[in-house]
Structures are given as C-alpha cells and as structure tokens.
Amino acid sequence: MSNQGNRRAEIIGVGAYVPPKVFTNFDLEEMLNTSDEWIQQRTGIVQRHWVEGDIGTSDLAVKASEEAISEAGIDKKDIDCIIFATLSPDHDFPGSGCFLQAKLDLPGIAAFDIRQQCTGFIYGLSMADALIRSGQFKNILLVGAEVHSKGLDLSPEGRNVSVLFGDGAGAVVLTAKEAKNDEDSQLFRHNLHADGSYAKELWVAAPGTGNGPSHRLSPEMMEEKLHYPYMNGRQVFMHAVKGMSRSLTQTLKEQEMTVDDVDLFLFHQANLRINDKVGEMMGISSDKVFNTIQNYGNTTAATIPIGMRDAIKAGVLKKGMTVAMAAFGSGFTWGSTVMRY
C-alpha cells in the first residue's frame, strides 16, 4: 500500500437509509408461494424494505450520504471523491456515482463505481483507505446502495432468490489525518479476494455482451428470465462460510490479533445461518455479532454501513472499539477489514 508520510484514513461520519415501505414475509407468502416459517428458519429474515414508485439506487444513496456528511460535520464541498458500490445501478452507464454526484451538487469531483456485489463495501473501504494514504484525495464519500426489488423475479419461480433481498443504502465519510504512528491509525488492515471461476453461481446474465452473437438484451433472453438473478444457494452458502472465516482469520493474524481482541463483528447479512456458522467456527461469542438481516434482508453493498449506523444508534458500536468486518458475494468476491472505530 502506498504511503504519504503518516497520512491515514479515518471514518468520521456514518449514515444509512431504507425506503419506508416494509414487506414482511407474510406479504410475500401469496405472491411467491413461500412461507414466513420457511424464510425465517432458513435465513433469519423477517422483513425487508422495498422502494415504491420512481425511486432509483442513487436516490437512496443521496439520503444515506446526507446523513453521513451531517454526522461527519464537514461541508459537503470538501468531499473530493465518491466511491459508489452497487450491483443495481440506476442505469447501465454512466455509473451511479455520477448520478449521486449531480444530486449532491458536487460538480467536478471524482466519481467511481465499483462492482463487487456483497463485498462492495469492504473493497470500497480498502480503496478509499489507499487513495487517502496515497495523498490523492482528502475526503471520500463511500456509499453502498441497492434497489433489488426492481430486478427480482416476483413470481413463485423466483422465490429462492427474491425472498432474500432488500433495498437500502449506507454511507461513510472518510477523511485524511496525520497519524502519530501505526497504532494511531483507525483502519488497520484489509484483505480482498475473488474467484471468477464461480461467477455464474450467483449472477445476472442479461443484458450483457457475453451472451453470444445476439444483442445485449433480446425478447428471448427475457423469456428465459436471464435478466433475473440466478443463484446456486448451496454453493454460495458453503463458499461464504469458508471465505469469510478464512479471510477474517488472515486479517486478524496479519494484525497480530485474535477474535478476543475484537469488540464487535459486523458481517455481511446474507443468511443468519452463514453468520452463525462463521461465528461458531471462529469461536466468536454471538453477543459480539451485530446482525440486521431480520429487518432488512440482504441489502448487498449497503449491508455493512447500514449495520454500522444501526449499531451506533443502538449504542452497541462506540468510539474506540475494535471492529472486524467480513463479507462474501457474487464474483465470487470476499474480504475483511479490521479497524478501530
């Protein structure tokens, strides 16, 4: 990681937003031929928030960003870069970071989109950290936001995937600070991984130029439902447990820490059973894991910052605590971060 003196990145503001409309498991029973019992037992999800009407991903991001900026106590004009993690952008191009930048009225500043799905926030945090350490940017707005509900197969055929996902956004503001030494740094360490040989175990095929000689999107592709997510749930489950636990073990080891040094674990929220399994394998006591899946379902790149915001509001995450984050998602991608909040 490149370095400029003792310049380090520090999270100074956290925000989140979910659309007001709640869909409980009971609301989905008729639509998707599912049951509250099945969903709760297999996943831990009780409800999720879905947008209504003319709301896109960057609209949710605006609200989360405004809260993060206000919590940071800086003038938004001091932000010099946006990193936007999403798998459900407003449009194919340009990136949602550009739409967010215009909606926040911050013309001219850099705007990246990154596409690491459920690991998007961890990848984004690592990027923001490196960009601030390098001296390229001073104040970065990192956002994870998703509108899944407009991209799900809401027929009984899509039930295995559609019950899992919720809409929402989370954001953090990172700023540069001069650290006295390594211990004075807030973001300790990240590790990032991917294995593209599993790309098609959790993906959306269309629209895309990889679908043979035809156009990116055709009526035939829509007939085949290629524009809806496909997931091999068992493969994802297995690799998620392995990926998150290995990544976190590696990060802690490199930082010369053990799970006992960590005050709070903020895991990605894909399935409560995945997190329970990771906790069990690593010997983490369950009262140190902050789960939110029951309220929101899987909000992909938004999940970890939403969890941070909720943990702060609940008084569970306090300044000075050591926090470990780990995520796994489509790609496959996975990674972890250890930091002091």
Ligand X SMILES: CC(C)(COP(=O)(O)OP(=O)(O)OC[C@H]1O[C@@H](n2cnc3c(N)ncnc32)[C@H](O)[C@@H]1OP(=O)(O)O)[C@@H](O)C(=O)NCCC(=O)NCCS
Catalytic residues: 118, 268, 298
Q: How many helices (H) and strands (E) does the chain have?
A: 11, 13
Which amino acid type is present at position 139?
N
Residue 15 φ then ψ, to 5°: -145, 160
Q: How far apart are the first and last CA of the chain?
A: 21
**Quick check: 272 binds ligand X (CB under 6 A)?**
no
Binding residue for ligand X, selected from 271, 295, 333, 336, defined by CB under 6 A? 271
- Return the residues of window 195-214 that contact ligand X according to CB under 6 A: 202
Q: How far is the CB of 304 from ligand X (least distance, A)?
A: 12
Q: Which residues contact 21 (CB under 8 A, 6 or more apart)?
A: 49, 50, 51, 52
CA angle 341, 85, 127 (to 5 degrees): 55
Nearer to ligand X, 34 or 336 (CB): 34
- 217 C-beta neighbours (distance < 10 Å), count: 15
Q: Are residues 207 and 92 in contact, defined by beta-carbon separation less than 8 angstroms?
A: yes
**Quick check: 298 binds ligand X (CB under 6 A)?**
yes
Nearer to ligand X, 159 or 246 (CB): 159
User: How, if at all, do strands 22-24 and 81-85 pair?
Assistant: unpaired
**Quick check: 152 binds ligand X (CB under 6 A)?**
no
Q: Are residues 284 and 270 in contact, defined by beta-carbon separation less than 8 angstroms?
A: no
**Quick check: 163 binds ligand X (CB under 6 A)?**
yes
> What distance lies between CA 222 and its chain's CA centroid?
27
Q: Which stretch binds ligand X (CB under 6 A): 64-72, 121-129, 144-152, 236-244?
A: 236-244
**Quick check: 299 binds ligand X (CB under 6 A)?**
no
Q: Which stretch binds ligand X (CB under 6 A): 171-179, 233-241, 246-254, 282-290?
A: 233-241
Q: How far is the CB of 269 from ligand X (least distance, A)?
A: 9
**Quick check: 38 binds ligand X (CB under 6 A)?**
yes
Binding residue for ligand X, selected from 9, 68, 206, 270, defined by CB under 6 A? 270
Binding residue for ligand X, selected from 20, 53, 108, 234, defined by CB under 6 A? 234
Binding residue for ligand X, selected from 10, 12, 14, 43, defined by CB under 6 A? 43
Nearer to ligand X, 16 or 326 (CB): 326
Q: How far is the CB of 273 from ligand X (least distance, A)?
A: 7
Binding residue for ligand X, selected from 61, 169, 187, 240, defined by CB under 6 A? 240
Q: Are residues 173 and 68 in contact, defined by beta-carbon separation less than 8 angstroms?
A: yes
What distance in Å separates the CA atoms of residue 51 and residue 49, rounded to the nearest whole number?
A: 7
Half-sphere CA count of 256, side-chain side, radius 13 A: 1
**Quick check: 50 binds ligand X (CB under 6 A)?**
no
Nearer to ligand X, 43 or 291 (CB): 43
Binding residue for ligand X, selected from 160, 218, 250, 294, defined by CB under 6 A? 160
The secondary structure of 23-62 as a DSSP string is: EEHHHHHHHHT--HHHHHHHH---EEE---SS--HHHHHH
Binding residue for ligand X, selected from 11, 100, 118, 304, defined by CB under 6 A? 118
Q: CA nearest 53: which of 146, 152, 144, 147?
A: 147
* Residues making contact with ligand X (CB under 6 A): 34, 38, 42-43, 118, 159-160, 163-164, 202, 231, 233-234, 236-237, 240, 270-271, 298, 328-329
